[in-house]
Amino acid sequence: MFPRRRFRRYDGGDTTRRTSLPPIASSLRNSLRKWFREGTPDGVRTMNRVKTPSSDDPNDVPPAAIIDAPLGDSFAIETPRLRLRPVRASDDDELFAAVCTSLAELSRWLPWCQDGYTREACRAWLCATLESWQASREFALLIEDRQTGRFIGLTGLNRIDVLGRWGNLGYWLRTDAAGNGIATEAAAAVVPFGFGRLRLRRIEIFADVENHASRRVAEKIGATFEGIARNRASVGDRCRDAAVYSLIPGDV
CB 94 within 8 A of CB 142: no
Q: State the pairing for strand pair 166-173/82-86.
A: unpaired
- pTM, rounded to two decimals: 0.72
pLDDT of 229 strictly over 90: yes
Q: What is the mean pLDDT of the chain?
A: 81
Residue % of the chain over a pLDDT of 70: 72
- The SS3 call for residue 16 is strand
Per-residue pLDDT band at 176 (split at 50, 70, 90): very high
Please list, in sequence order, all residues whose beta carbon lies within 8 angstroms of the beta carbon of residue 151, skipping any fewer than 6 positions away. 91, 94, 95, 98, 142, 143, 144, 174
CB 19 within 8 A of CB 1: no
Q: Which tens digit of pLDDT belongs to each residue from 94-107? A: 999 999 999 989 98
Q: Partners of 167 in the beta sheet? A: 203
CATH number at residue 234: 3.40.630.30
Give the residue, 186 or 22, on which the prediction is more confident. Answer: 186
Q: What is the pLDDT of residue 3?
A: 53
Q: Do 136 and 12 share a structural domain? A: no
Residue 38 located in a structural domain: no
Per-residue pLDDT band at 87 (split at 50, 70, 90): very high
Distance between CA 131 and CA 135 in Å, rounded? Answer: 6
pLDDT of 58 strictly over 60: no
Q: Which tens digit of pLDDT belongs to each residue from 123-135? A: 999 999 999 888 8
- Provide the domain limits for residue 202: 76-251
What type of residue is 252? Answer: V
Q: Do 86 and 14 share a structural domain? A: no
Q: What is the pLDDT of residue 111?
A: 87
Q: Do 81 and 19 share a structural domain? A: no
Q: Do 105 and 25 share a structural domain? A: no
Q: Partners of 245 in the beta sheet? A: 205, 225
Q: Do 142 and 228 share a structural domain? A: yes
Q: Do 214 and 142 share a structural domain? A: yes
Residue 80 located in a structural domain: yes
Q: Do 220 and 109 share a structural domain? A: yes
Distance between CA 114 and CA 99 in Å, rounded? Answer: 9
Q: What is the pLDDT of residue 71?
A: 79
Over residues 71-85, mean pLDDT: 92
Mean pLDDT check: name the lowest of 66-70, 71-75, 96-100, 161-165: 66-70
**Per-position b or e across 80-98, b if 16+ CB within 10 A of its CB:** eebbbbbbeeebbebbbeb
Count structural domains, the chain. Answer: 2
Distance between CA 198 and CA 192 in Å, rounded? Answer: 9
Residue 54 located in a structural domain: no
Q: State the pairing for strand pair 202-208/166-173.
A: parallel
Q: Partners of 234 in the beta sheet? A: 239
Q: Do 120 and 171 share a structural domain? A: yes
Q: Do 90 and 20 share a structural domain? A: no
Q: Do 81 and 8 share a structural domain? A: no
Q: What is the pLDDT of residue 36?
A: 44
Q: What is the pLDDT of residue 67?
A: 55
Residue 16 located in a structural domain: yes
DSSP for residue 50: -
Residue % of the chain over a pLDDT of 90: 57
Q: What is the pLDDT of residue 113?
A: 84
Q: Which tens digit of pLDDT belongs to each residue from 40-57? A: 344 333 333 333 344 445
Phi, psi of 180 (to 5 degrees): -125, 25
